[in-house]
Structure 1
């Protein structure tokens, strides 16, 4: 029996200033008898403060904040968290740490302009985790670089003693995945990454984005694979983005955030048109 436990915080979806919605995002606290590690940070002040309260309520010492990838919604709470828990290290796999450092200023400008001050600013960056192993009270927590999710580079956390995976944006749970930042060359690699998660045989899987009321069950792996396969095959078979949106909604009627599906479909068909030109 493991001494570790996980506690998942999921923010609510919210309406964007320019229309559409932002998907609910997860942060996961891994706790042992005396120590804790946080995976991903949130980016709105109220949500980061909720995560801070979650850590304080655990009564554990936060030793590290691990970032799965360089999307601002997963790391822009970092500076606020480190100010509250200065003894904690901010870490990521080397490729992700480099990506965050490289893109930090452009991310700051984008978040400032897009959210109009609603989101936190952030100047903190993670250090590279060279040995890819963290510990919580002596129990190993494994960082694994993954070839492709809705972005690359990206990573997951595997907790063997819990048969748990904190998957970042490799998988989604009851939420339309963001495919607009990928292309057809990425999609087979994303599906292969989902298959790799399945090969770990987890019983608990925390998706980077999920409907808050859903449990963190391994079924979201198969759901994500099926979603990606349906999306990819129908980009080739259908003639218009609106047809793809209708098809995906017929297959996944309960998936949250249709605005993500719309932008993903529109982007995919623009890429298809450019490739066929």
Structure 2
């Protein structure tokens, strides 16, 4: 049986992230968990109904919307190996307590966040096999954080872009600055070097699920639109970042270009609060913690743009 995939889109409060299940006749491999436990409960139920043997769960990077749900999945699929590349394992270990404390707030539901994180096992070789077909992992990708990884399935010509590329979902420039976003654009463009037929973005809206299902069935079609969309978003964001002089202007400009995008729109609110702490309107979504103590990299530093006022 030729490998197939199924994409699970997680909830709005789960950052509209996704997980991708690659499966054959009997076995399956899952790429990423979710942030909210409830999202992984829903996904686990769907996977169980598929009657596949889940052999591995791969975690792409240290952001909790890709691994908090492991708490659910390790109980639902106790025989599945939870794996990641060594850099990701280190990053999760270094940030685990900070991330749990950051996100265990009322907005996300304290019971919907694990009490502690699950640390994946490091893999020696950046590849595994699924029913005789390779699934290849590569690190060193710049995305919405440092240390992103990407997944490539040669037999399907499918790339899981994880958090390197998004589509119709607000990107996450919170943990990047102008120089890092230049590298991010390079990584987005580099996705095309695989010569993929399909690129699955790490975050997207509901409409992309239908497109991803359709292009899987119709081999004459391709879907790599998230590349151009993500680069355009970063270009617009950098223009707004350079132009806006206060919080209301920043929000007005972002709304002008992307007011129709609802997925992860609270990220724009948090950017406004971080960049313009004095003039940001009171109605803007509150930050989940104190600036300087949130959205930190695995070394404990903040990679985002400095406040403009």
Looking at structure 1, the residues matched to 250 and 110 of structure 2 have their Cα atoms a distance apart, in angstroms, of 34
Name the counterpart of 2:111.
Answer: 118
Name the counterpart of 2:207.
Answer: 213
Where in structure 2 are the equivalents of 1:255-266 lying within 5 Å? 255-256=261-262, 257-266=264-273
How many residues align? The count is: 268
SS where residue 206 of structure 1 aligns? Answer: strand
Does 2:184 correspond to 1:193? no
Name the counterpart of 1:17.
Answer: none
Name the counterpart of 2:274.
Answer: 267
How far did residue 184 of structure 1 move? 1.9
- 1:29-61 per-position Cα deviation (integer Å, ceiling 9, x unaligned): 110122111111113233111211222122211
Does 2:82 correspond to 1:75? no
Distance verdict in 2 for CA 1:219–1:272, change over 3 Å: closer
Q: Which 5+ residue runs of structure 2 have no aligned equivalent?
A: 213-222, 278-303
SS where residue 94 of structure 2 aligns? Answer: helix
Name the counterpart of 1:86.
Answer: 78
- 1:108-162 per-position Cα deviation (integer Å, ceiling 9, x unaligned): 2223345442323143211112211011111001101133111111111111211
Task: Give the aligned CA root-mean-square deviation in angstroms.
Answer: 2.2
Distance verdict in 2 for CA 1:273–1:119, change over 3 Å: closer
SS where residue 56 of structure 2 aligns? Answer: strand
Looking at structure 2, the residues matched to 57 and 108 of structure 1 have their Cα atoms a distance apart, in angstroms, of 30
Does 2:140 correspond to 1:141? no
CA contact (8 A) 2:159 2:198 kept: yes
Name the counterpart of 2:99.
Answer: 107
Where in structure 2 are the equivalents of 1:241-260 lying within 5 Å? 241-256=247-262, 257-260=264-267
How far did residue 268 of structure 1 move? 4.7
Distance verdict in 2 for CA 1:52–1:258, change over 3 Å: closer
CA contact (8 A) 1:180 1:265 kept: no
For normalisation by structure 2, the TM-score amounts to 0.79
Looking at structure 1, the residues matched to 5 and 272 of structure 2 have their Cα atoms a distance apart, in angstroms, of 34
Looking at structure 1, the residues matched to 270 and 70 of structure 2 have their Cα atoms a distance apart, in angstroms, of 28
CA contact (8 A) 1:231 1:244 kept: no
How far did residue 249 of structure 1 move? 2.8
- Greater alpha carbon shift after TM alignment, 203-212 vs 188-197: 203-212
Q: Which 5+ residue runs of structure 1 have no aligned equivalent?
A: 15-21
Where in structure 2 are the equivalents of 1:56-75 lying within 5 Å? 56-75=48-67
